[in-house]
């Protein structure tokens, strides 16, 4: 395939960015999207030009660092995949493809297609953990039986990889789906009950401090999420937050 790429180029967070046109030829439908960008960058380096900066790590759909906005969609036109799992067979010969970084106030651009998503890290640090005092003493594993439905839902919430597609898909750049997934994976399990009140209050507070918007109730976050995180988690977080607020 021969394709026309329109890629966002930006030197750093303080510089003004712009869309730059690139033509690429002989793209195999079996290439992954990131492989196609690798080929483009090889040709740019050979010409003595600056390669396009993009972030990636595992290339297996489990880390989320490869996040890109492709033709206006987080992770591109496929469903249930991250950018690194997207293949060029989803495009046609002669297509024009717009490639941009995720857009959100809380995700400032570092360079080109790479954004700073450390806001997610700070939300998790605010409460996405269970405190256990090991202090050199061996502690038996929790032996409380857990309802299978709750265990399954907790596991589903825990599959969130923090890629930020939910934020990029939301017109308010809301992080409600991400935060609620991190709250839910503990709220559904006995290990998470001790700190439940502090957890949800602290994580929601940090989410607001980072500058994320409010939930729009449009459901775009769930549709674009590569792991299919359910909107039910947002409802659960709202209930947890209300209960925690009444206790406080």
Instruction: Please give the pLDDT value at position 247.
Output: 87
pLDDT above 90 (res 218): yes
**Mean of pLDDT over the chain:** 95
Instruction: Please give the pLDDT value at position 248.
Output: 65
Which fold, 3-111?
Answer: Ubiquitin-like (UB roll) (3.10.20)
Confidence of residue 134 (pLDDT cuts 50, 70, 90): low
What are the beta bridge partners of residue 100?
A: 69
Nearest to 68 by CA among 31, 12, 112, 17: 112
Whether residue 85 contacts residue 61, with contact meaning beta carbons closer than 8 Å, is answered with: yes
| Sign of the alpha-carbon dihedral angle for 132, 138, 144, 145 | positive
Which pLDDT tens digit goes with each residue over 152-189?
A: 999 999 999 999 999 999 999 999 999 999 999 999 99
Which pLDDT tens digit goes with each residue over 20-72?
A: 999 999 999 999 999 999 999 999 999 999 999 999 999 999 999 999 999 99
Q: Say whether 118-247 and 3-111 share the same fold.
A: no
Q: What is the architecture, at CATH level 2, of domain 118-247?
A: Orthogonal Bundle (1.10)
pLDDT above 80 (res 133): no
pLDDT above 80 (res 1): yes
pLDDT above 70 (res 82): yes
Which pLDDT tens digit goes with each residue over 180-196?
A: 999 999 999 998 998 99
CA dist., res. 82 & res. 133, Å (int): 37
The domain ranges of the chain are: 3-111, 118-247
What does the pLDDT average to over 107-135? 92
Distance of CA 162 to the CA centre of its chain: 4
Angle at 169 between CA 38 and CA 152, to 5 degrees: 95
pLDDT above 70 (res 83): yes
> Of residues 175 and 248, which shows the higher confidence score?
175
pTM of the model: 0.93
Percent pLDDT > 70 in the chain is 98
CA dist., res. 113 & res. 138, Å (int): 45
Which pLDDT tens digit goes with each residue over 140-150?
A: 777 788 999 99
What does the pLDDT average to over 77-87? 96
């Amino acid at each position: 395939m021969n394709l026309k790429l329109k890629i966002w180029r930006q030197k750093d967070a303080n510089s003004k960015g712009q869309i730059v046109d690139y033509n690429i030829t002989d793209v195999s439908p079996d290439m992954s999207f990131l492989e196609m960008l690798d080929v483009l960058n090889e040709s740019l380096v050979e010409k003595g030009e600056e390669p396009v900066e993009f972030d990636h790590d595992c290339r297996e759909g489990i880390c989320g660092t490869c996040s890109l906005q492709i033709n206006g969609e987080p992770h591109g036109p496929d469903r249930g995949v991250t950018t690194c799992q997207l293949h060029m067979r989803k495009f046609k010969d002669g297509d024009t493809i717009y490639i941009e970084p995720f857009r959100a106030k809380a995700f400032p651009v570092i360079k080109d297609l790479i954004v700073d998503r450390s806001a997610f890290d700070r939300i998790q640090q605010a409460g996405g953990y269970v405190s256990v005092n090991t202090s050199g003493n061996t502690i038996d594993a929790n032996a409380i039986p857990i309802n299978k439905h709750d265990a399954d839902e907790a596991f589903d919430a825990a599959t969130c990889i923090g890629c930020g597609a939910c934020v990029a898909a939301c017109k308010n750049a809301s992080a409600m789906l991400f935060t609620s997934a991190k709250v839910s994976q503990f709220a559904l399990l006995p290990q998470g009950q001790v700190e439940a009140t502090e957890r949800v209050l602290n994580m929601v507070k940090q989410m607001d401090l980072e500058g994320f918007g409010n939930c729009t109730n449009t459901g775009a976050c769930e549709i674009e999420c590569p792991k299919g995180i359910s909107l039910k988690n947002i409802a659960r977080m709202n209930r947890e937050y209300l209960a925690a607020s009444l206790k406080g």
